[in-house]
Amino acid sequence: MSYSPKSIDPRDRLIFALDVPTRSEALEWVDRLGDAVTFYKIGMELLTSGEYFQVLADLAERGKKIFVDLKFFDVPATVASAVKGLTRYPVTFCTIHGNDGMMRAAAAVKGDIRILAVTALTSLDQHDLDDLGFRCEPEQLVLSRAKAALAAGCDGVVSSGLEVAALRRDVDHALITVCPGIRPVGNVDDQKRTMDVAEAFAAGADYIVVGRPIRQSADPRAAALAMQDAIAAAVARR
């Protein structure tokens, strides 16, 4: 099927992974990046600081969009309670693991939050999936979980950019695709299934999540702005 791109502000398509251990470091990054980044992911590393919801409030006060990436995984009633609790906050995205019961329970109470099902972590390759007992290729697993997520009432998935083309070919285009593991240069970290910015959007990604390539650059704000330019150009070509 021909891909139907969503109407999303191009500058909101870049999500910066605020993977830092304290509120003070988080706010330093928000101030440093300024208007180069409008959307932030806050995950497990910040959760253990005890300042997670303070940072969430700080981001909201600065007019930023918020992606709560805690990958909830528990019995369906507990996952639903956690998601329902999040509806008290200005959260755009929230992640849960792609189990049918969990997904249905979360979707039933999500309010304005868009629920993203985790398909296969980008740190996993075929060997890792074999060890976990998944007797299929990553693409097959991602497609299966994406279809189940939409059927359960979820809004989208977190997926490697390598599987996005297949998702756009075989799954309803209402599906939101959020792609971590974006690497603009040669990859030397723990992410195994990676893609660069232009490739991800050419394949049909809606959003990308970027952390280390911005944080570890000599000029993080310039790196973020360069990615924004690359995103705008890639989206315009679709």
In the DSSP assignment, the letter for residue 12 is G
d(CA 111, CA 84): 8
d(CA 16, CA 8): 16
* CA atoms within 13 Å, Cβ hemisphere of 73: 9
**DSSP helix/strand/coil, 156:** strand
d(CA 40, CA 197): 17
Q: Per the annotation, where are the binding residues?
A: 19, 41, 69-78, 122, 183, 191, 211-212
Please work out, in degrees rounded to the nearest 5, the angle formed at the alpha carbon of residue 157 by the alpha carbons of 178 and 71.
95
Strands (E), the chain: 14-17, 39-42, 65-72, 93-97, 114-118, 156-158, 176-179, 207-210
d(CA 203, CA 205): 6
The verdict on whether 192 is a catalytic residue reads: no
Q: Per the annotation, where are the binding residues for substrate?
A: 19, 41, 69-78, 122, 183, 191, 211-212
Q: Which of 6, 64, 65, 71 is catalytic?
A: 71
Catalytic residues: 71
